[in-house]
A and B are shown apart, each in its own frame.
Chain A
């Protein structure tokens, strides 16, 4: 079996035992990147020499007899929204083109400390705003299942790189579904940890109260290993939870739902959902029941207001978070001809440096926070947030996890919703509630839709700090489906 077909767990073991060198593993992935990148465009930056240097360092540590962690030497694709001191960081925006941060994000630092080999930075919707990666200033990423389709977003480069076997692991960030939805539409595993479970320090902010770093992998155990590697308390992030990381790796190995109470969210389904998605979802629910779970229907009436609340809260925070991109201290500067004022140069730079979706959200957020509108919009949205948390609390009194389709449709064609924001926003319908309430949620593959043969994701939601339940149920579903399918959904690297 070629190295790119190995799981991250296997690669870590091969490197630790010396059966493969980190350099060999890195080179195999660099070769795959060179082969498919022209078609997929998952990466914004790859520096093969730097990759091999990292890999050599791991091999050197092994040679020196240092103990290596379970992911040491394993390659990873890193979303270009985390700062990296040795690589450019753009957040998919022209306004940061060429910017080299003088510091590493906490997630970046922890990847390095775990010995992961960072292959490069992956493409994303500009400032993580979008569900298709079409909003990247550097061009769209293509779904390895069908290159004419979107890989999801905003972490579309991250999902595509793993689905295309360019990397066994990748990092993402999830503000309204930006890990789970790309994972679903590319047939891989993507986890949004509990808010505050993984550090935002060095993650270029979109919406501070929602942004959550999380892992992508082609299987549940690998995702759990990566989750464990970069999560945990960070004193640099005031919203970080000062508690141990839930036992996610153990849960992924446990893979059992015997006696577990599973709630099906009544509000997710029906109109607007692709029949093939609903069919695969129902199959997954039946599967859970057959595995010994007790399945009940649970109503969360406020979830119907999650999408509008999200499209007030996230733009409000983004309008403020993105104010720092002003051409004064870093990044693009446009129109500074010696006569224009700072104010004019700021406005020209921001107009030239931000794409349409970012501008839309900045103005929407500015509107929602304006005096006279604050109470009706931002204030009401915050109340909806309370209601959604209450719905989750009530639901988790009845059941251990909630399930739903991850996203209403399979991957849509590139360009289809590009200038129809309302249609685009619907992609996050099922994922947003967990961002608003801060609880853990994962997407695992549950088959291919009959009508287009594209992957469908099952979302498993657990309470705050119940991340391990997502992995436990996700792994059980994965195992049962693999038994049924005779292997994983993505059996081998797609021929592209």
Chain B
């Protein structure tokens, strides 16, 4: 069974914000198909009565007291920014209203 088609890789690339070239799509489609085919084995043993583990250890209730700690200065905050204007991060025009 071919799990991942070229179109699907193109869709994944869009979702992942990766502008891939056509030849990359082909290459990744073949590799991802192989990998997905191999890792799909997990379903063999994933019975309904087994609880999933999202964490390595069963810790719960780790909280922080509501206390203010020092922030960065704007200079520090903006130090790595590709572009800055008026102490704000300057970014290219945004298309959507929001996601």
Contact = CB atoms under 8 A, between A and B. Distances in A.
Q: Do chains A and B touch in the complex (CB under 8 A)?
A: yes
Interface of A: 99-102, 195-196, 209-210, 235, 238-239, 241-242, 302, 305, 308-309, 311-312, 319, 323, 326-333, 336, 338, 340-348, 350-351, 354, 359-360, 362-364, 366-367, 370, 376-377, 379-387, 389, 421-422, 435-438, 464
Interface string B65-99: 00000001000110111110000010111111000
A418 to B, nearest CB: 12
B33 to A, nearest CB: 11
B18 A351 contact: yes
B57 A359 contact: no
A303 to B, nearest CB: 11
Contacts of A437: 56
Contacts of A360: 28, 31-32, 35
Contacts of B38: 308, 311, 422
Interface string B45-72: 1110011111111010010100000001
A350 B55 contact: no
B52 A312 contact: no
A305 B42 contact: yes
A386 B32 contact: no
B57 A387 contact: no
19 contacts: A209-B55, A241-B59, A242-B62, A305-B42, A311-B39, A323-B17, A331-B80, A333-B83, A345-B92, A350-B19, A354-B18, A363-B32, A367-B4, A370-B15, A382-B53, A383-B42, A383-B51, A384-B42, A422-B38
B36 A380 contact: no
Of A102, A242, A360, chain B has the most CB atoms within 10 Å of the CB of: A102
A421 B27 CA distance: 12
B49 to A, nearest CB: 9
A366 B77 contact: no
Interface of B: 4, 8-9, 12-21, 24, 28, 31-32, 34-36, 38-47, 50-57, 59, 62, 64, 72, 76-77, 79-83, 89, 91-96
Report whether over half of chain A's contact residues are helix, strand or loop; otherwise say mixed.
helix
Contact of B18 (A195, A330, A347, A377): A347
B52 to A, nearest CB: 3
Contact of B19 (A331, A336, A344): A344
A184 to B, nearest CB: 22
Nearest to B73: A102
Contacts of A340: 92
A377 B40 contact: yes
A309 B43 CA distance: 10
A166 to B, nearest CB: 29
Contact of A328 (B28, B51, B72, B89): B89
Contacts of A332: 82
B92 A342 contact: yes
A379 B57 contact: no
A383 B56 contact: no
Contacts of A387: 45, 50
A380 B36 CA distance: 13
Contacts of A363: 9, 12-13, 16, 18, 28, 32
Contact of A99 (B80, B91, B93, B96): B80
A364 B17 contact: no
B80 A344 contact: no
A302 B77 CA distance: 46
A309 B13 contact: no
Most buried by A among B14, B41, B56: B56
Contacts of B52: 379, 382-383, 385-386
B17 A333 contact: no
Contact of B20 (A101, A323, A359, A376): A359
B42 A377 contact: yes
Given A343-B95, A379-B52, A383-B45, A235 B39 contact: no
Contacts of B83: 333, 336
Contacts of A338: 92
Contact of B17 (A241, A343, A367): A343
List of 8 A-B pairs having minimum Cβ-Cβ separation, nearest first: A438-B56, A330-B80, A382-B52, A380-B46, A333-B82, A347-B19, A308-B39, A383-B46
Nearest to A333: B82
Nearest to B89: A329
B18 A102 contact: no
